[in-house]
A = this chain, B = another copy of it.
Amino acid sequence: MHLEDLQTPCLVLDRRILERNLARMSERMHRLGVSLRPHLKTAKSAEVARMAVAGESGGITVSTLAEAEYFADHGFRDILVAASQPPQKLDRASALLDRGVDLALITDDTDAARAIAAHRGRFKVLIELDSGDRRAGVRAEGDVLLEIARILGDRFAGVMTHAGHSYGCRDIECVRQVAANERATVVSAAERLSSNGIACGGVSVGSTPTMTHADNLDGVTEARPGVYMFQDLFQAEIGSCSRDDIAVTVLASVIGRNELENRFLLDAGALALSKDRSTQATPHDAGYGEVWDTECKPAYGDCRIERAYQEHGVAVSDSPIDFRRIAVGTKVRVAPNHACITAAAYDRYYVVDGGTEIIAEWDRVNGW
């Protein structure tokens, strides 16, 4: 099987690039003395997870209970659900404990902590801290941190944060500063707990930009980056990787041409690419994705998807497109703005190994 034989749109994963991305992050985390607990929210694949934990402790991070259940089905036994869950989901989560999974939850709320403490399921719980993202998390210096730890009692297992605001950086110095704050937040929270007689087992951080550029993780026990496995145009734009490191692309077919207006039409639109526009705020706005040829070369100039309708993507370029290379049926690969969001439209990967031959099909878990 070859890329040319596939029905479009579909998701293509390059194992060679994936392996290189995984090795780079593993080496970096070892050098900084922290354990890597890869976040599988991007890949959502047991095959990828097995590669990502090779040489690590085997623990993984997920973002939904559906992912936790899928990875448990595939033999994973040390799982952190790194998004707060409503109390109504504790029964479902505790079914994983009953199956022998060492399941950790997170919380930043006293009521949620009381619900967890009162539940029969003996979860491990990390307290989420806000290191500047203003999404979730308590303050490292506030009273709520200590209050939640006391409510959790012997279920309290550590502190964690996610420096999502590193995505707002546009240079590496900014990312390094965010990484330093991320570390300082969890380490100072752990020290406060310790000085109040509460032992803090895990001290967990993670985002791909901060883990790519942090130069000191002293006091941190584990890191949870995720998108580093696949990378994407946005990560390339903010300096986490180069375009050559993007492992996942959408295979699409040309379904129309308009030479007069220097554009062509793909059968990959908003559902196939997502409506993520994260590169809009970066130096090279890629629209809804960059259009490469099947060998991942930018063979059509600076071609990008300017408009995304439900099933149509309008490809344009600032320079004249060579329409001798664009016929109806021509296949192209579209590099995604944000791999996590684009990949979620697909139930499988068609895996290549640096070329255009399909060497495997790997499944994915979606939904909740």
Flag if B277 contacts A277 (CB, 8 Å): yes
Query: Which A residues, 345 to 360, have Cβ-Cβ distances below 8 Å to chain B?
Result: 345-347
Do A340 and B310 contact each other (CB < 8 Å), given the known contacts A7-B368, A83-B267, A329-B87? yes
Chain B residues with CB below 8 A from A35, complex form: none
Flag if A255 contacts B83 (CB, 8 Å): yes
Q: Which residue of B lies closest to A267 (CB)?
A: B86
Cβ of A200 within 8 Å of any chain B Cβ, yes or no, is no
Task: State which of B84, B276, B277, B329 has its C-beta within 8 Å of the C-beta of A88.
Answer: B329
Segment among A22-30, A107-115, A118-126, A208-216 that sits at the interface with chain B: A107-115
Cβ of A270 within 8 Å of any chain B Cβ, yes or no, is yes
Flag if B341 contacts A307 (CB, 8 Å): no
Cβ of A256 within 8 Å of any chain B Cβ, yes or no, is yes
- Interface size (A, Cβ < 8 Å)? 57
Cβ of A271 within 8 Å of any chain B Cβ, yes or no, is yes
Cβ of A314 within 8 Å of any chain B Cβ, yes or no, is yes
Do A84 and B256 contact each other (CB < 8 Å), given the known contacts A111-B327, A341-B270? yes
Query: Which A residues, 316 to 335, have Cβ-Cβ distances below 8 Å to chain B?
Result: 327-329
Task: State which of B64, B135, B311 has its C-beta within 8 Å of the C-beta of A64.
Answer: B311
Q: Which residue of B lies closest to A128 (CB)?
A: B256
Chain B residues with CB below 8 A from A314, complex form: 135
Flag if B328 contacts A368 (CB, 8 Å): no
Bound Cα distance A83, B9 (Å): 13
